[in-house]
Amino acid sequence: MEQRLQTVLSRAGTSSRRRAAVLIEDGRVKVDGKVVKERGFRIDPAKHEIRVSGKALQSQEKKHYFLFNKPKNVISTVSDTHDRPKITDFFKKIDARLYPVGRLDKDTVGAIIVTNDGPLAHKLMHPSFETRKEYIVTSDIFLTGQNIKKISGGLKLDKKLTSQCEIKLLRRSATGAVYRMILHEGRKRQIKRMFEVLGGKVLELKRVKYAGLDLGDLKEGEFRRLTKKEVEKLKKIPAASPPTS
């Protein structure tokens, strides 16, 4: 299937989409031995040989799959102009260009997949697959039954309702409460903003499961390789069925 060359490069893990555009414009990308400088150039990666700076497209390299327990104050980007700690800093001994699948806020901890498999990363992040994400939320408020229904049924953020989610009280304290939440979408700062709509604040947020992968005994800053069975299961996650009229 034909795709934009810039998209093929970013999904293969060669670079970000913005960086891919620069590589193309600089004449560092060849398709079937010929330099291509047009970002919108369309190709079928299954039929054409693609080389970046003389090297075969990274999609042909060995694939790596990890589950990482992201610590607080570590950012989910490959590069950072402020020289802050990044997820990829923990994988310097792995000889591959790895990147996190999606993002967690700087002050959010927990499960995130790190890989160099562009197509799988794109699939897991695409809204149509409604990847399941489970969180432990510590808030400064105790939600009433009515507010629980509001959150689980959908709240309006950016003039659009959030998808239905699951929320369960784990324990109550003198200063607030702790909840377990399961989401199938991933808007920016979604959980924090949902609590803000109801007059509360999220004090701590930890993602304990992602796409069925559990942190288990992983400590913050630790990672493990996914098993072959886990990788195959991720690849078989079906897209959500379209709504029926």
Q: Which residues are part of the catalytic machinery? A: 105
Using alpha carbons, select from 94, 110, 131, 81 the residue that is nearest to residue 220: 110
Coil, strand or helix at 68: strand
H/E stretch holding 179 reads strand 176-183
Query: DSSP alpha helices (H): ranges in 139-207?
Result: 145-153, 190-197
Q: Quick check: 69 and 217 in contact, CB under 8 A?
A: no
**Residue with structure tokens 């005994």?**
217
Using alpha carbons, select from 63, 82, 5, 83 the residue that is nearest to residue 232: 63
| Interacting residues of 110 by C-beta distance below 8 A, sequence separation 6+ | 69, 70, 104, 135, 205, 206, 207, 208, 210, 215
> Which residues are paired to 67 by β-bridges?
113, 224
What is the C-alpha to C-alpha distance for residues 104 and 111, in angstroms, rounded to an integer? 9
Q: Quick check: 67 and 226 in contact, CB under 8 A?
A: yes
